Amino acid sequence: MKKRAGQIRPGRQAFSMMQKALFLLLAGCLALAALDAHRGRTDKNGCHVDKKTGIRHCH
């Protein structure tokens, strides 16, 4: 049996559109969370002083 382009092997199901959309949404949220975090000048406790507000906070 010759496999044609676009065919799925028996026993394997393709991801549905909903599963693809959910995966892309989750991947996008994780990417945004990684961009928001920073590894700036933190002390041994993971804290630093925000230059804009002057308030010390920890991550």
Q: Is the pTM of this model over 0.75?
A: no
Give me the pLDDT at residue 16, please: 83
Please write the tens of the pLDDT for every residue from 1-59. 565 666 655 555 666 888 888 999 999 888 877 766 666 678 888 888 888 888 988 87
- Residue 48 burial (CB < 10 Å; 0-12/13-18/19+)? middle
